[in-house]
Structure 1
């Protein structure tokens, strides 16, 4: 919460056609960002209403699938970078619908003992994650609102798997463009940062309208009646979300430009800013406002 071989004209089997495990309380008439993102990634865990919104997004931003894919690829590179820095535990906030290349798949491929906790409030994302992770003792999902850090951090399953006395990898990938200014994104991040051990790494990506303002305005319009309206931010505001962290080179850049892999073709599409920061030994504490 980006396409991998799926054209916009192709019919994608939605979750309602697979069904069986979809929670009865889910309203399949209301689109969600997690399921629209799943559609853009070429996934099959979305409703007809999500696909309709996704098609609207693609109508106004034809690069929507490429932008989503570039964000997903950044997440994989960030996780591998963290593993290379000795990180063995991860907290993925706003994790969305599980699909190929999830954090636990990337991390545990390198280190089978890596531990991962996902957090999302979308019922479909949580239900499918529970099914996917049922046999994985080192990964779990917590249903909670990432904008309420104290609730997230108090979750028993999170505390069972993660040791906050040791560095961990905190991921907020493609999630804060769903958080309005009134909710004070910087204060939310600061609250999580306070609980991180020095040496922890923080990865964030964020959609922007800097490169295609008219097209991205159309994306905002397409999402405005969903459960998750969007709030794109310019470069300076995205960079400010890393306050309190030391940025890893090359800093905050377009997602494809962050630690590109040698020999891997990178589409130069713009639309997502991304970066990774490290918590230093001393950080001035702040409180939620």
Structure 2
């Protein structure tokens, strides 16, 4: 399948300012980033050298959560804030367990669109699709996703390392509520989120540095993160530091130690 409504020749990428998706790619050792992204990434490393480990820990959580969901019968996935393709991608994890799994990726960064074909190499039994849309426009996300996913059957909504780029003023909680309202009973919300709970001074400095570059970083406490799951049934162990959520479902991230990685993760079921 090809990305919906996409024109690879029309992709225009702004390389004058850093972008979170491209910085994330740089942290992961990817090549789809620009000098401006590397420069901001290096500035983040001066504040906390664990940032690349944090990026890998988030990705490892996505792998474990997807594996858990597929093992527990989920066959449809909507991944918003997909980022630049890095194997294994979500559909590869899901379709390894369930070859008939259907996956829709969604991102608003043109560079992800430019590499979307890498997200679409799924099994013949299943389906993979890429949607160019922004989480701040949930109606467009849902409209596009419904072309591939059956919203009468459970869907796993994945928002990994995304909502800390959406402030309360932009309606982060309302956006999640609107997306969940479209999903049937038995669906799931999968999230990770950066926090300042463990490194307040470093986090404050990083927030200011990114804000000066035009990037919002809305770090939330454990209780603030837990609010996203209000009314949902949390999968054990509930809200947890990211690398401690079902570690048995994946391999430890190189460089991960016993220290606390400053981020939370959780998976919850809609009643």
Displacement, 1:22? 8.1
CA contact (8 A) 1:33 1:226 kept: no
Write the distance in 2 (CA, Å) between the matches of 1:233 and 1:135: 35
Q: Which of 244, 247, 254 lines up with 1:257 in the alignment? A: 244
> Unmatched 5+ residue regions in structure 2?
1-7
What stretches of structure 1 of length at least 5 have no aligned partner?
A: 1-20, 281-289
Map of 1:113-152 to 2, 5 A cutoff? 113-129=100-116, 131-136=117-122, 138-152=127-141
Deviation by residue 1:156-182 (Cα, 9 ceiling, x = unmatched): xx2221001001111000000000111
Query: Corresponding residue for 2:43?
Result: 56
**How much has 1:222 moved relative to structure 2?**
3.0
Local SS of the residue matching 2:134: coil
> What residue in structure 2 maps to residue 78 of structure 1?
65
The residue number in structure 1 matching 2:180 is 193
Please list, as runs of the form range in 1=range in 2, the aligned pairs for 1:80-229 lying within 5 A after superposition: 80-129=67-116, 131-136=117-122, 138-155=127-144, 158-229=145-216
Contact kept, 8 Å, 2:65 with 2:190, in 1: the verdict is yes
Partner of 2:4: none
CA contact (8 A) 1:23 1:124 kept: no
Cα–Cα, structure 1 residues 237 and 279, in superposed 2: closer, same or farther, change >3 Å?
A: same
The residue number in structure 1 matching 2:235 is 248
For 1:46 and 1:60, how far apart are their aligned partners in 2?
21
Cα offset, 1:72, TM superposition: 0.8
The Cα of 1:68 is off from its aligned counterpart by 1.2
Match of 2:15, SS? coil
**SS of the counterpart of 1:55?**
helix
Closer, same or farther in 2 for the Cα pair 1:194/1:262, shift >3 Å? closer
Q: CA deviation at 1:201?
A: 1.2
- Counterpart residue number, 1:230: 217
CA-based RMSD of the aligned residues comes to 1.8
Inter-CA distance 263–166: structure 2 relative to 1 (3 Å threshold): closer
- Name the counterpart of 2:3: none
Question: Which whole-Å CA distance do the structure 2 matches of 1:206 and 1:152 have between them?
Answer: 21
- Normalised TM-score (structure 2): 0.90
Q: How many residues in Structure 1 have an aligned counterpart in Structure 2?
A: 257
The DSSP-based 3-state class of the residue aligned with 2:247 is coil
